[in-house]
Every structure is written in structure tokens, then in C-alpha cells.
Amino acid sequence: MESLVIPAFILVVVAAGVALGARAISRRLKASAAAGATAPASDPVELARAAAAKLTEDQHRRLYALIAQGQAMAAIKLYYEATDAGLRAARDAVGALAAHPQPYRTPASAEAAQESDDDDTPQRFPYRYRAIASKGDVTREVSSNMLNDEIYGRIRTLARSGDTEGAATALTRHSDITLKQAREFIALLDD
């Protein structure tokens, strides 16, 4: 009987440890679910716009220079220090800014851009924007002075979300290509 006391004691200690571990994990999951329920699920494009609006022109330029150089940690640190956002918020903001590039806008021009977004006529820019998509041996290019990084980012987001028809329509609106050519271009975008 004495030979069973030690293994039984070890079994009780292990069972208690497992129960405490499961309880701690359960509490963490409940806490993260509650935090997730209160945090708004935002659109990455809107997150990028809001993040860009918090930066000065110099900070905006330096942040995009770091992103272009592949220095994500330095970009997150710069955004974190510039905005006093939390570390996770800075990481999410830099990720959104990298995925959906935003031009620098002064506060007055940001309001004007919001008003011009409601307008149905595309804006013409003083430069030609080139968008290139390829898959295998097939390559397509769209060149237009009605496209920029922001508009092309929206078109890519539509395509990635599965709205290929909406992406093709937006591309034809902001370029001089046919709907058929736009569909071919959208089909080549990486998933």
C-alpha cells in the first residue's frame, strides 16, 4: 500500500496543475474575447487613412522610407513614438499603411479629399500611373493619369475580397481600358 502513495500523490499534483492551467487559459480567452468585442473591426483602408492623418509630413516621409527599405520594426517604432499609440495599434497601423499606401495630406486637403470621394468623376493627376499585373508568362499593364496608389490599392482590395466585377468596374472608371481588359487585368492580380 505504501508503494502506491507516492504515485497517487504525483497524480494528484499533476491533475491540479492541469486544472489550474486550463482555468488560466480559459480566463485569457474570455478576456481577449471581451476586448475583441469592444474593439471596432475596422477596414484596413480606413485604418491606413486614419493612421496617415496622425503623422506630420516629415514623419510620413520617414515612415514610408522605412517601409520601402523593409525595416518594419523601425517603422513601427517611429509610428509608436510619433502618435503615442499602443504597440499593437502601431503595428496594425504600419501594416495597413504598407498594404494601402496613403499620400500625405494636410488637414485641409484631407477634408477636401473626403468631399471629392463622394464625387463620381475621377480626378486627373499630373502624372501617369503604371499598374502591372502578371501571372506566369502573361503580363498586363494599365497606364492612366486617373490612377494613383490609393485608388489602385482600393481596386486590389476589392479584387482580394472577391469582388472582381467591382474591381474591374473601378479600374475602367479610372483608366481608358475596356471592361474585358480590366477583367483580364484583375484576374492576374496575386491572391
Q: pLDDT: is 123 or 76 the higher one?
A: 76
Q: pLDDT: is 112 or 89 the higher one?
A: 89
Region at 123 (left for phi over 0; alpha for psi -120 to 50; beta for the rest):
beta
Residues comprising the chain, all counted = 191
User: How many angstroms separate the CA atoms of 144 and 94, rounded?
Assistant: 28
User: How many angstroms separate the CA atoms of 21 and 18, rounded?
Assistant: 5
Averaged pLDDT for residues 131-135: 85
**Would the pTM of this model clear 0.85, i.e. be above it?**
no
Which of 27-31, 53-57, 141-145, 162-166 has the lowest average pLDDT? 27-31
pLDDT score of 41 more than 50: no
pLDDT single digits (tens) 114-130: 555 544 577 777 778 88
The set of residues, in sequence order, having a beta carbon less than 8 Å from that of 98 and lying 6+ positions away, is: 67, 72, 75
Q: Which pLDDT does position 106 carry in this prediction?
A: 77
Averaged pLDDT for residues 133-143: 86
Name residue, grid cell 503623422. Answer: 55
pLDDT score of 113 more than 70: no
User: How many angstroms separate the CA atoms of 100 and 189, rounded?
Assistant: 15
Percent of the chain residues topping a pLDDT of 70: 85
SS (H, E, C) 141-191: EEEECCCCHHHHHHHHHHHHCCCHHHHHHHHHHCCCCCHHHHHHHHHHCCC
- Which pLDDT band, with edges at 50, 70 and 90, does 37 fall under? very low
Closest CA relative to residue 150, chosen from 107, 191, 110: 110
- Which pLDDT band, with edges at 50, 70 and 90, does 40 fall under? very low
The one-character DSSP state at 122 is P
Closest CA relative to residue 179, chosen from 187, 189, 188, 171: 171
The one-character DSSP state at 137 is T
